[in-house]
């Protein structure tokens, strides 16, 4: 047993960030900062791995490694943290992607390194904090804590031609609009659960049993939609997605990886952790509109992605498509209909697995885009071609990640999307049928726009040679780039071939959640 | 001759009066030779007054035939006032040395201004309210125009004076109507007359009188539509004075407004039907106008002026939604007090940042903040902390304040008001982060490091530490606010 394990996980990156600030200035301080940050970030990864693979009980449906202390007694706010099968994989993924992001950045970030690594570690604290918080007040604090570092990561280290400052403030304001309405809902739930003699509660576990506004559908709906908006913007669900392509495109490579890999998951995680258990009735009453928004995200997201000529923007829009499956899975799991618990659990398992997979696959794809951009100084898909032969390692990795993304059997993406559809056909057959179009378009965008444009075709020797004058130099993946991507590729194959490694963990919790809400 | 007990109860005021007069004497007798030391004398006086106020904690008395209330509500503000004074003295020393020969009188005026704030907090009598407000106003006019050779400072003072004169005349008219209705100057007696009167015309007259009083207090608090003086006065005044004006008069303006409304108005059952909508409209107008106009500002002092107008709008939500019944932690009143306390450190902190830069470079235009992070990293970083707090984003003190005023609004069912409030705070992020944008993302023309004076650095660290501390450990502040409400129940 590790005492204060989760608190350590939250605090370690923060302490690391503070140390980064304290490293004295000097000629070598930049490389010192980089190596310190990378090595330091491995500690949370090791701790999270130990917690998940050794101590975590995948068959227990209750919270594990729980810690609870009274924080603000007059409003009954507790420092209450804990993980279950829903949050443990995401916490682990956060620590993994942070290590990879910092490792990759230590090679490519040359300006203002101190600030970069400080912000990145601060961001990690915010993200882990959201996943482990079981008190809504605490959850909100961490939720907001992640905003500021991401804002700086986009704005300072973004690519100048992508309007990073505009994209950064857009990201900030969009997220904030949702957050503040969620804050009102949080307070309203507290007031509603309080009585003349007892204080209300912010505790997510207690709220799920107390069900605030149980007898007042109007207020329950207001609170539901307030929280829904915060999460939907983060996911992002159509029509709240417009911040995403800008932010993704402008962000530096590691920033995009974290943004796609983790920050989007905060939204879907909120759906499963907060909206489903606390507002099951309202959610069920509104399944159809939510499923329709998911459908639009899936189909429209894929179509818009297909229309992009910018590699990074394409991947960004593909996130809208892929995150749509998560929401579809959640909606299918709670929908009113004839389906039994097994069908629903499959849908929710698929949604939860899709969160994890999307983090792995899209994280990898953003690294891949970044690697190409470092060489070509452009992301215009039309300016590539024939790279498969010239840079075979790069080609192989891009192929694998693209196939995983489009859902090729044997790779991770297939399993989760299959499960989402398997569940959705049982409860929302019509919607699921329409959503299959997303799979088709998704395959088209990856095969046609990415693989064909980048890897196949004729390599234009003359143009590349000419470009070399402008500092463009094409070479295959170097060792540090392969090291960065290797763990992600491994996970894609592992989950694709043997999904039980993670599904057992997820299944316990989705049965538990659904058991509480479906009669 | 008042007895010892009475003197004891007004010891904070006595300390300030004695020190103010002493500084005045020293400044007249020894002139330039002691100017440097006078700031330290003022600091000692303010610290003693703070200690005296803390020492009185728990007192509950009415002095001088009920004119003067020494209760925990008043003491809350008697703690706030010297803290503000101390911070303002710390940041004004270097600032004044650069700009004027007559530094000594500045600390006289400031000490008396703090004294006036304390008197406002204790006023429980119509006449006392008027006199103490006038006292504070005169000190404020003089402080605003303190840089005699600076035309902007003069213009600001004149504008401030003209607005102040008109609003205080209007308020005096309102007070005289209240006296006419009740035949007493004492707030308690006014309330009693209201509750006994069955005459509906009393209701109407009371509404008119209260609205007129609100004009005077709205001027101090800078509520729309009595806010127009603020941007010009803030911009022209010496920056430490701007810092003072943005927190001091606003805080005690709220003290009077709260005491006045919460003691006299419960006697009028129908009154809330008119009064509450009026306050809701003023609150929405104040927040929205302040924030929208702030979007267009390029001068950081003007920007903070409009921001502080908007902040007053948020605080007013707490008064709109006040409900002292029950055991809910969202009584509205505690929200205002917590908000004010958080705002004190936050806004002063933001102004310390402004002064740190202005002292060394004279810069107050936001575009010239370009590359500030390279020239003064601490100041640039703390700008973020204070702006996050002003915008109400955790983990900062401002978040705690907003949490409680919005909580009160939700408790009382003012959903739309709360929603407008939080959306306004989103708007405010845009202009606050405009400053951050300049400081962090733009390239500086001049890259020389900016030297920040030790006392200014100290004030920066103290205010930032308080902003974060209140967020991490807010319990003592809640208790302070909860006890302060005791007198009004």
A194 Cα to chain B: minimum distance (Å)? 8
> Residue A466 pLDDT > 70, yes or no?
yes
> Residue A57 pLDDT > 60, yes or no?
yes
Q: A197 — contact with chain B (CB < 8 Å)?
A: yes
pLDDT at B114: 96
Q: Do A74 and B479 touch (CB under 8 A)?
A: yes
Q: B295 — contact with chain A (CB < 8 Å)?
A: no
Q: A139 — contact with chain B (CB < 8 Å)?
A: no
- Per-residue pLDDT tens digits for A183-198: 999 999 999 888 878 8
pLDDT at B487: 62
A-contacting residues of B 363-382, CB under 8 Å? 373
Residue A518 pLDDT level (bands cut at 50, 70, 90): low
Side-chain half-sphere CA neighbours of B418 within 13 A: 27
Q: Do B440 and A172 touch (CB under 8 A)?
A: no
pTM: 0.94
pLDDT at A391: 87
Q: Do B395 and A74 touch (CB under 8 A)?
A: no
Mean of pLDDT values over A456-485: 82
Q: Residue B473: CB partners within 8 Å, gap ≥ 6?
A: none
pLDDT at B136: 95
pLDDT at B54: 93
Q: Residue A126: CB partners within 8 Å, gap ≥ 6?
A: A142, A143, A144, A145, A146, A147, A149
Q: Do B407 and A155 touch (CB under 8 A)?
A: no
Q: Give the domain extent around B388.
A: 284-489
Give me the residue from A74, A145, A169 closest to B433, CB to CB: A169
B-contacting residues of A 310-349, CB under 8 Å? none
Assess if residue B465 is contained within a domain: yes
Q: A177 — contact with chain B (CB < 8 Å)?
A: yes
Token pair 């921001």 is found at B307
- Per-residue pLDDT tens digits for A427-459: 888 999 999 998 999 888 888 888 888 888 888
Q: Do B388 and A148 touch (CB under 8 A)?
A: yes
- Per-residue pLDDT tens digits for A141-178: 999 998 999 999 999 998 888 888 999 999 999 999 99
- State yes or no: cis peptide before B292, omega within 30 of 0: no
In a mutational test of the B interface, the residue from A10, A25, A75 whose CB has the highest number of chain B CBs within 10 Å is: A75
A156 Cα to chain B: minimum distance (Å)? 6
What residues in B contact A147, CB-CB < 8 Å? 393
Residue A478 pLDDT level (bands cut at 50, 70, 90): confident
B356-393: burial string, b at 16+ Cβ within 10 Å, e else? bbbbbbebbebebbbbbbbbbbbbbbbbbbbbbbbbbb
A324 Cα to chain B: minimum distance (Å)? 27
CA B57 to chain CA centroid, nearest Å: 21
What residues in B contact A155, CB-CB < 8 Å? 437, 440-441
> Residue A24 pLDDT > 90, yes or no?
no
CA dist B465 and B458 (Å) reads: 10
CA A19 to chain CA centroid, nearest Å: 27
For residue A113, give both structure tokens: 């390194």
Assess if residue B423 is contained within a domain: yes
- Per-residue pLDDT tens digits for A228-280: 999 999 999 989 999 999 999 899 999 999 999 999 999 999 999 999 999 98
Mean of pLDDT values over A13-31: 89
User: What's chain A's average pLDDT?
Assistant: 90
Assess if residue B60 is contained within a domain: no
pLDDT at A111: 84
> Residue A39 pLDDT > 70, yes or no?
yes
B-contacting residues of A 434-463, CB under 8 Å? none
| Range of lowest pLDDT (A70-74, A362-366, B384-388) | A70-74
Whole-Å CA distances, A506 to A5, A86, B114: 21, 6, 62
Interface A-B, measured as beta-carbon pairs within 8 A, has a size of 80
> Residue A41 pLDDT > 90, yes or no?
yes
Phi, psi of B451 (to 5 degrees): -85, 125
Assess if residue B458 is contained within a domain: yes
pLDDT at B489: 47
Q: What is the mean pLDDT of each run of 10 residues along chain B (489 residues)?
A: 83 94 90 83 94 90 87 92 94 86 87 95 92 94 90 91 92 92 86 77 83 90 90 92 93 92 77 85 94 93 94 93 81 91 95 91 88 89 94 92 93 92 94 91 86 91 94 90 74
Assess if residue B196 is contained within a domain: no
What residues in A contact B384, CB-CB < 8 Å? 148
Residue in chain B closest to A169 (alpha carbons) equals: B430
pLDDT at B98: 80
pLDDT at A271: 94
Q: B479 — contact with chain A (CB < 8 Å)?
A: yes
Indicate the number of domains in chain B: 1
CA dist B10 and A199 (Å) reads: 38
Assess if residue B276 is contained within a domain: no
Q: Do B327 and A140 touch (CB under 8 A)?
A: no
Give me the residue from A74, A181, A184 closest to B478, CB to CB: A74
């Amino acid at each position: 047993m590790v005492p204060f394990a989760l608190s350590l996980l939250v605090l370690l990156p923060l302490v690391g960030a503070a140390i980064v600030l304290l490293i004295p200035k000097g000629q070598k301080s930049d490389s010192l900062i980089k190596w310190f940050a990378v090595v330091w970030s491995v500690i949370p990864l090791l701790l999270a791995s130990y917690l998940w693979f050794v101590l975590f009980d995948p068959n227990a449906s209750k919270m594990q490694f729980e810690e609870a202390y009274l924080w603000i007694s007059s409003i009954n706010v507790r420092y209450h943290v804990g993980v279950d099968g829903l949050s443990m994989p995401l916490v682990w993924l956060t620590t993994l992607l942070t290590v990879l992001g910092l490792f990759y950045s230590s090679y490519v970030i040359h300006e203002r390194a101190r600030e970069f690594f400080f912000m990145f570690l601060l961001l990690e604290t915010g993200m882990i904090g959201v996943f482990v918080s079981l008190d809504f007040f605490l959850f909100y604090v961490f939720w907001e804590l992640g905003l500021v570092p991401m804002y700086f990561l986009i704005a300072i280290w973004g690519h100048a031609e992508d309007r990073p400052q505009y994209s950064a403030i857009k990201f900030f304001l969009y997220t904030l609009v949702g957050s503040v309405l969620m804050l009102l809902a949080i307070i309203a739930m507290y007031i509603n659960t309080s009585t003349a003699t007892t204080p209300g509660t912010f505790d997510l576990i207690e709220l799920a049993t107390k069900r605030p506004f149980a007898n007042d559908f109007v207020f329950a709906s207001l609170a539901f939609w307030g929280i829904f908006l915060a999460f939907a913007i983060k996911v992002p669900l159509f029509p709240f997605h417009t911040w995403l392509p800008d932010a993704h495109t402008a962000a530096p490579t590691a920033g995009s990886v974290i943004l796609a890999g983790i920050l989007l998951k905060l939204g879907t995680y909120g759906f499963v952790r907060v909206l489903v258990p606390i507002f099951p009735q309202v959610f069920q009453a509104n399944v159809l509109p939510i499923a329709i928004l998911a459908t639009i995200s899936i189909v429209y997201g894929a179509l818009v992605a297909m229309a992009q000529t910018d590699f990074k923007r394409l991947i960004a829009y593909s996130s809208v498509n892929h995150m749509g499956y998560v929401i579809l899975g959640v909606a299918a799991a709670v929908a009113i209909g004839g389906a039994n618990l097994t069908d629903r659990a499959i849908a929710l398992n698929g949604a939860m697995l899709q969160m994890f997979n999307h983090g792995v696959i899209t994280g990898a794809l953003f690294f891949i885009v970044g690697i190409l951009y470092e060489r070509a100084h452009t992301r215009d898909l039309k300016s590539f071609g024939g790279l498969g032969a010239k840079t075979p390692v790069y080609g192989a990795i891009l192929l694998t990640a693209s196939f995983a993304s489009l859902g090729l059997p044997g790779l991770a993406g297939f399993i989760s999307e299959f499960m989402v559809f398997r569940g959705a056909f049982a409860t929302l057959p019509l919607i699921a049928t329409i959503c299959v179009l997303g799979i088709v378009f998704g395959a088209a965008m990856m095969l046609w726009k990415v693989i064909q444009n980048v890897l196949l075709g004729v390599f234009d020797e003359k143009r590349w040679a000419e470009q070399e004058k402008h500092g463009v130099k094409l070479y295959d993946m170097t060792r540090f780039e392969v090291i960065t991507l290797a763990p992600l590729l491994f996970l894609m194959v592992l989950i694709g071939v043997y999904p039980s490694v993670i599904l057992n963990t997820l299944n316990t919790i989705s049965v538990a959640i659904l058991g509480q809400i479906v009669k | 001759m008042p007895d010892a007990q009475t003197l004891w109860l007004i010891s904070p005021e006595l300390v300030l009066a004695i020190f103010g007069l002493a500084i005045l004497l020293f400044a007249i007798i020894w002139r330039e030779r002691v100017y440097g030391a006078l700031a330290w004398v003022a600091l000692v006086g303010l610290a003693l007054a703070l200690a005296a106020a803390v020492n009185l904690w728990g007192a509950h008395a009415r002095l001088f035939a009920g004119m003067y209330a020494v209760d925990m509500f008043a003491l809350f503000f008697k703690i706030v006032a010297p803290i503000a004074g101390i911070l303002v003295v710390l940041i004004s020393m270097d600032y004044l040395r650069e700009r004027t020969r007559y530094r000594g009188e500045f600390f006289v005026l400031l000490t008396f201004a703090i004294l006036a704030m304390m008197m406002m907090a204790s006023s429980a009598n119509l006449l006392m309210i008027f006199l103490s407000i006038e006292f504070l106003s005169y000190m404020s006019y003089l402080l605003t125009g303190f840089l005699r050779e600076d035309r902007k400072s003069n213009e600001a003072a004149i504008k401030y004076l003209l607005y102040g004169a008109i609003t205080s005349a209007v308020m005096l008219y309102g007070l005289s109507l209240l006296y006419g209705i009740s035949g007493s100057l004492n707030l308690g007696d006014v309330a009693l007359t209201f509750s006994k009167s069955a005459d509906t015309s009393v209701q109407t007259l009371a509404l008119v009188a209260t609205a007129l009083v609100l004009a005077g207090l709205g001027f101090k608090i800078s509520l729309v539509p009595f806010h127009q003086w603020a941007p010009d006065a803030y911009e022209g005044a010496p920056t430490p004075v701007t810092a003072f004006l943005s927190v001091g008069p606003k805080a005690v303006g709220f003290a009077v407004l709260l005491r006045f409304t919460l003691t006299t108005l419960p006697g009028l059952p129908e009154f809330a039907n008119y009064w509450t909508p009026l306050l809701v409209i003023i609150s929405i107008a104040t927040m929205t106008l302040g924030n929208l106009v702030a979007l267009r500002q390029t001068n950081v002092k003007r920007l903070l002026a409009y921001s502080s107008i908007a902040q007053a709008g948020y605080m007013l939500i707490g008064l709109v939604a006040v409900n002292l019944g029950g055991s809910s932690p969202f009584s509205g009143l505690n929200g205002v007090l917590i908000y004010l306390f958080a705002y004190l450190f936050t806004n002063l902190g933001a102004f310390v940042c402004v002064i740190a830069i202005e002292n060394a470079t004279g810069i107050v235009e936001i575009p010239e903040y370009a590359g500030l992070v390279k020239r003064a990293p601490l100041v640039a970083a703390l700008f973020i902390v204070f702006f996050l707090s002003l915008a109400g984003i955790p983990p900062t003190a401002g978040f705690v304040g907003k949490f409680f005023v919005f909580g009160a609004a939700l408790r009382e069912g003012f959903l739309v008001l709360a929603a407008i409030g939080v959306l306004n705070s989103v708007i405010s992020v845009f202009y606050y982060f405009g400053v951050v944008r300049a400081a962090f993302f733009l390239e500086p023309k001049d890259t020389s490091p900016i030297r920040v004076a030790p006392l200014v650095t100290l004030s920066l660290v103290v205010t930032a530490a308080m902003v974060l501390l209140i967020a991490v450990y807010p319990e003592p502040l809640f208790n302070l606010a909860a006890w302060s409400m005791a007198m009004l129940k």
